[in-house]
């Protein structure tokens, strides 16, 4: 995403077709199956949602949804002055006109997991809540976390720059063998380091998250001066092929530690994980 997207495209309702077969499951049953799916970005959302033709909802029924109140409190954050709806903002928060719907399928009802935008280009489609289903697939590959953005890419580059990670003046890691991961414009450059270059006493955490581009992340907590700092770092043991360079490497949240590159302190970024 460039500054042009932030300034002009992000405030718009956008959509792009995908030629992949897209399926979703509930209770072990395939309830969505489409080769005519569309990726839809509601205004200010940085992540797309899948939308499919109405007739591609299998053995299910779309119903008027009960009134759903979005959770109170701030939604998303600001990046370069732009309001951004990050992945923590629930599907129930809509930024374009339309009709929220519930889905009855596989012997259960999921409230508010569908949305029909009041847009003539999307009149025959229904947008679906990724988290409202049990599983998603593109072809036969499971999709984790959220739909894959057609315009998203990863650049993972080996770097001999000196990386130093500190917290409260204590050195947690030093390396000249980092893999630097460049991703979304709102995310900082991530430094993935060999475990041998980690000094801090990290302990495995039970936390797991899914990324559509890298697969499942395992987290690490830090014991520091008698206190435990939970989930301060993460790693991907078996990432997808395009992220193979970071397999087994450890990355700290730039938002929560002090990072130096070639001796120069890096500002702590403001992101949804700050």
Tens-digit pLDDT profile for residues 195-238:
999 998 999 999 999 999 999 999 999 998 888 999 999 999 99
Q: Which residues contact 101 (CB under 8 A, 6 or more apart)?
A: 62, 63, 64, 65, 112, 113, 114, 115, 116, 126
C-alpha to C-alpha distance for 203 and 219, rounded to whole angstroms: 9
Comparing 54-68, 98-112, 141-155, 218-232, the range with the smallest average pLDDT is 54-68
Model pLDDT for residues 54-79, shown as the tens digit of each residue: 999 998 999 998 766 555 444 666 77
pLDDT on residue 1: 45
Q: Which residues contact 113 (CB under 8 A, 6 or more apart)?
A: 91, 101, 102, 103, 128, 129, 132, 133
User: How large is the average pLDDT for residues 100-107?
Assistant: 95
CA quadruple 220, 77, 264, 247: dihedral positive or negative? positive
The more confidently predicted of residues 134 and 271 is 134
pLDDT on residue 138: 98
| CATH architecture of the domain covering 3-142 | Beta Complex (2.170)
Q: Indicate if the pLDDT at residue 147 is higher than 70.
A: yes
Q: Which residue in 186, 273, 176, 175 sits closest to 232, CA to CA?
A: 273
Integer CA distances (angstroms), 63 to 10, 60, 119, 129, 156, in order: 30, 10, 19, 15, 45
How confident is the prediction for the chain on average, in pLDDT? 91
Q: Which of 89-93, 160-164, 269-273 has the highest mean pLDDT?
A: 160-164
For residue 41, report the phi and psi dihedrals to the nearest 5 degrees. Answer: -110, 115
pLDDT on residue 149: 92
What three-state secondary structure class fits 4? helix
- Residues 165-201 as b or e (16 or more Cβ within 10 Å = b): bbbeeeebbebeebbbbebeebbbbbbbbeeebbebe
Domain ranges for the chain, please list them: 3-142, 155-266
Quick one: tokens of 174?
């030093």
Comparing 4-18, 55-69, 111-125, 142-156, the range with the smallest average pLDDT is 4-18
Q: Which residues contact 263 (CB under 8 A, 6 or more apart)?
A: 162, 164
Quick one: tokens of 97?
């006109």
Count helices and strands in the chain by DSSP H and E runs: 1, 24
DSSP string, 53-121: EGGGBTTEEEEEPPP-PPPSS--SEEETTEEEB-TTS-TT--SS-EEEEEEEETTEEEEEEEEEES-GG
pLDDT on residue 84: 83
Q: pLDDT-derived band of residue 187, with 50, 70 and 90 as boundaries? A: confident
C-alpha to C-alpha distance for 234 and 82, rounded to whole angstroms: 28
User: How large is the average pLDDT for residues 87-105?
Assistant: 93
Do 3-142 and 155-266 fold alike per CATH?
yes
Q: Indicate if the pLDDT at residue 86 is higher than 90.
A: no
Model pLDDT for residues 24-61, shown as the tens digit of each residue: 999 999 999 999 999 999 999 989 999 999 999 998 99
Domain 155-266 CATH superfamily: Domain of unknown function (DUF427) (2.170.150.40)
C-alpha to C-alpha distance for 238 and 217, rounded to whole angstroms: 9
Q: In terms of pTM, does the model score above 0.85? A: yes
């Amino acid at each position: 995403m460039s500054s042009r997207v932030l300034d002009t495209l992000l405030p718009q309702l956008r959509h792009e077709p995908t030629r992949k077969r897209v399926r979703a499951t509930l209770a072990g049953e395939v309830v969505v199956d489409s080769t005519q799916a569309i990726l839809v970005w509601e205004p200010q959302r940085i992540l797309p949602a899948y939308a499919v033709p109405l007739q591609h909802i299998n053995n299910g029924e779309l119903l008027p949804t009960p009134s759903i109140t979005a959770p109170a409190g701030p939604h998303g954050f600001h990046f370069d002055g732009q309001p951004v709806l990050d992945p923590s903002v629930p599907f129930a928060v809509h930024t374009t006109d339309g009709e929220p719907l519930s889905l009855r399928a596989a012997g259960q009802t999921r409230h508010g997991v569908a949305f029909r935008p009041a847009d003539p280009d999307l009149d025959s489609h229904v947008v679906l809540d990724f988290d409202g289903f049990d599983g998603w697939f593109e072809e036969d590959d499971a999709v984790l976390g959220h739909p894959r953005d057609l315009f998203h890419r990863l650049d993972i580059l080996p770097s001999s720059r000196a990386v130093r990670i500190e917290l409260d003046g204590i050195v947690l890691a030093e390396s000249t063998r980092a893999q630097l991961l460049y991703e979304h414009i709102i995310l900082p450059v991530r430094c993935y380091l060999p475990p041998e270059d980690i000094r801090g006493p990290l302990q495995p955490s039970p936390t797991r998250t899914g990324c559509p581009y890298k697969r499942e992340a395992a987290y690490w907590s830090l014991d520091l001066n008698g206190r435990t700092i939970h989930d301060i770092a993460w790693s991907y043991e078996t990432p997808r092929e395009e992220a193979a360079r970071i397999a087994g490497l450890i990355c700290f949240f730039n938002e929560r530690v002090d990072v130096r590159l070639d001796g120069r302190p890096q500002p702590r970024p403001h992101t949804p994980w700050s």
